[in-house]
Chain A
Amino acid sequence: MPESALKPAAGRAEFESIVRLENVQKYFGAVQALRDVNLRIGRNEIVGLIGDNGAGKSTLIKVMTGVMPPSSGRIFVRDREIDLSDYSVRMAHDLSIETVYQDRSLADKQPLWRNFFVGRQITNRFGFINIKEEKRIADQILKGAIGFRSSGITVDSTVANLSGGERQGIAIGRAMHYDADLIILDEPTVALAVAEVRKVLDFVRRIKESGRACIYIEHNLAHVHEVADRLVILDRGHVVSEIKPKDMSVIELTEYLISIQHKT
């Protein structure tokens, strides 16, 4: 049960990496979507996951978050191996892994406070919602973690009234509230105006500041280059290289990605 509005993630049990994949393969029939994927996500780093359409980014995320099992390979969460036969989205939630999908995280017609708590409502034992408590905590998250102070957004605002960047902020703030140690962002800046992109990138930085890890899937290289600690490049289901953004400019990165595309 969420008691406090926002606890920093630091100071919990020691572990090396929040998620580690070893030799993960994923087949869809005869098609190999993931090939020998070895990947390690540290406890407080922002990892940018880039690659062309069909490179296997979303398959990788789905395998990592229990949406679908890998065909073979091993997955470790907090250095402990996961039994893949009972890994599920719910289990990933319990293991403090949250995914923020670009357009599937918030329900448009519902007020923000319901969006914060849906699926994990604060209820009495008959299942009736403690609305006062939910609104109070939602208000704290809104003002504290997300930092919407003066923009006229309240817990009673419906999502439909928010801008795209604000929506991402709400979804990320919700993930942080639930003490997620790893927040996975699936193309959060798609179709956003420049000012909105700024806001989202600020939210990503907040994730890092609060001591959490983040996997950031992005098409726009400039955005991910700006905030990521490490870039993982995926091509045809394989991790082809890992790059530190400070070692390569956005232009060099673009050239590099194009050169990968033309290799066969």
Chain B
Amino acid sequence: MKPKTLWTLLFLGPPVALFAAIIAVPTVEAFRLSFTDANILGGATNWTGFDNFTEAFQDEHVRSSIRITLLWTLFGTVIPPALGLGVAVLLQNTTRFATIMKSLLFVPVAISLVVVAQVWIWIYQPDDGLLNQVLGLIGLERWENAWLADRSTALYAVFVSWAWQQTVLAMILYLAGLATIPAEYVEAAKVDGATKLQIYWKVVIPVLRPVTTVVLSLIAINSLRNFDLVYAMTGGGPVRETETMPVLVYRTLFRLHEQGEASAISIILFMITLVIVGGFMWWGRRGRYAD
């Protein structure tokens, strides 16, 4: 063997083996299990074809979790990126003070979703939560609510706390992206008599397209994987009103012990992820002639 081939094997071998053992092979195994009636408690495992999938699509809980996850991803890829871009545009100042303020604003991204869950539970508390207190102060007592216990508001309440964090993530990326836009682009547009709005719409946002691709892909992935926050805030309740697909997979696996069914749901989630995130990446690549 040539030394170069040997070295290639040495460099690639250990990390690729790790990846294969923990990610690649288990992913294939999940596909296989999704066609069986495997049970975590043991017992004979039978090949059941597409039964798990047809059952999944007929099960109201699975359908509801798909709906919740898609809704979450839709809101997630619209609201935090838009707000994040807006805030980033307003915060482009480079004074010392602005820089310090910006670093402080980054803190929500550094903290765990478990911590986010905790503080927002306190904000939404029915009796002395911050939200109800503020509503009371400004004379809107009748809007006060048990936000996380009310079936009609729980999902949106959890989403707001999530958007609070993801907006900062989008903002950070857009701030970095804005800093890379050459000043000449904007100057040229100004010389041509473009209004500020036109400059943003026609120059800044198109130039930011690669950053937007990263933001959307990242937030879509985060949305589709959303487990930690929901599980810590509501556990999927009230009455499974906030049960996202990842929470349902966890429940199916560890409460109902059904590996086959859990695998099938997780594979559906995988496929949805491929389509949505792949779509964003494809959209991002289409615009690359601009480079």
Q: Do A and B bind each other?
A: no
| Chain A residues within 8 Å of B, Cβ to Cβ | none
